[in-house]
Structure 1
Amino acid sequence: MERLRVKALLSALTMTAVTGVAWVGLATPAQAAATCSWYSGQTGTSSNCDNKDPDVLAASCGNDGQTIYSTRLKRSYDGALNGPLLELRYSSSCRTVWGRLTGAWGTDADQGGCTVTVHRNSDGQEYSRKPAFGATNATVWSNTVYDAGVTAYVKAHCDTSPGYQYSGQTASY
């Protein structure tokens, strides 16, 4: 009886291992979209990697996102560079750019909150995102734009209350 149980257990483990190997070999939708390109052979208009969440796209692009430029947002009334940190992020394997804003806040009853936007220079395509309602000290990022052969920059604006506005922009990359 004990021998049958051991045999049954070994059989079940073998099936689990074989099934697991089969599942590991399958590509997820994010991994299947690893090659970014311009639609219809155009340059600088639209791409299969436009408007993608960089965290989702990263799985197919080798997770190689890096910060190329960063700046603190400037307070409007005195020019102090003490607002949230704005970064232009870039993936060399996907050739995509997106913006990341750290130390941001979301909209609430008396403030407009922060918005981070990526802007592609060749066609003006932009994607923006805000932190969740009521968020404080949040990190938020825009979706991506493909930038093979063109350039892009990121910008951000924060509204905390009357008189407290912050804004900034990176150089193009």
Structure 2
Amino acid sequence: MGGDSVQRVRVKAAMSALTLMAATGAVWLGLATPAQAATCSWYSGQTGTSSNCDNKDPDVLACGSDGQTIYSTRLKRSYDGALNGPLLELRYSPSCRTVWGRLTGAWGTDYDQAGCTVTVHRNSDGQEYSRKPAFGATNATVWSNTVYDAGVTAYVKAYCDTGPGYQYNGQTASY
């Protein structure tokens, strides 16, 4: 491990210790703590199919509070391949074991354009959930609902149609 890697590990360990101390202190003092994240599971003991945390807003599940960006990419413009479109992120919550997509810099549907759509896709069963920004939105941030992915993988994709000749698309790797 190089010096920078060791330093990052030490910083992460110190931050984890501080977080634990702060949480313990908040409980001891009787202060409010963040909402409890949802307990997610597969229905009927199945693996890789429907879950009680599928098709939910990550913030409603309290999964967004520990959400991490695992992969990100700029959407590619279709006519010349330029990577200058909205930013697509695959977000993951370790507490909920859920994945969702977030698109930043997106456009909503308008009178002459289809706008942007962000979609999360679970590989084990093909389950997908999509969302668009509000009608007429510009430079918006929008996220899909979640898919549970304990023991399976998922990816996110996005497509934007902002007028003739200006379509963008992209996809992350699976996680």
**CA offset at residue 170 of structure 1?**
0.1
Residue 121 (structure 1) aligns with:
123
**CA offset at residue 162 of structure 1?**
1.4
Of residues 57, 67, 77, the one that matches 1:53 is 57
Q: Which stretches in structure 2 are left out of the alignment for 5+ residues?
A: 1-29
Give the TM-score taking structure 2 as reference length.
0.78
Partner deviation per Cα, 1:17-59 (whole Å, 9 max, x = no partner): xxxxxxx9xxxxx85x72100000000110000001011112x
Alignment of 1:128-147 (within 5 A): 128-147=130-149
Residue 4 (structure 2) aligns with:
none
Across the aligned residues of Structure 1 and Structure 2, the Cα RMSD in angstroms comes to 1.5
Residue 7 (structure 2) aligns with:
none
Q: Name the CA distance, whole Å, in 2 between partners of 1:90 and 1:64.
A: 8
Partner deviation per Cα, 1:51-93 (whole Å, 9 max, x = no partner): 01011112xx482101000000000000000000000000011
Q: Name the CA distance, whole Å, in 1 between partners of 2:39 and 2:161.
A: 38
Aligned-pair identity (%)? 94
Residue 157 (structure 1) aligns with:
159
Amino acid of the structure 1 residue aligned with 2:133? P
Q: Which stretches in structure 1 are left out of the alignment for 5+ residues?
A: 1-23, 25-29
Of residues 36, 39, 58, the one that matches 1:35 is 39
Amino acid of the structure 1 residue aligned with 2:145? N
**CA offset at residue 158 of structure 1?**
0.1
Amino acid of the structure 1 residue aligned with 2:38? A
Amino acid of the structure 2 residue aligned with 1:135? A
Native 8 Å contact 2:88 2:104 kept in 1: yes
Q: Name the CA distance, whole Å, in 2 between partners of 1:62 and 1:137.
A: 21
Of residues 97, 100, 108, the one that matches 1:98 is 100
Q: Name the CA distance, whole Å, in 1 between partners of 2:80 and 2:56.
A: 36
**SS of corresponding position for 1:40:** helix
Of residues 61, 78, 81, the one that matches 1:79 is 81
Amino acid of the structure 2 residue aligned with 1:66? Q
Q: Name the CA distance, whole Å, in 2 between partners of 1:100 and 1:129.
A: 10
Q: Name the CA distance, whole Å, in 1 between partners of 2:168 and 2:45.
A: 39
Alignment of 1:60-71 (within 5 A): 61=63, 63-71=65-73
Give the TM-score taking structure 1 as reference length.
0.79
**SS of corresponding position for 2:44:** helix
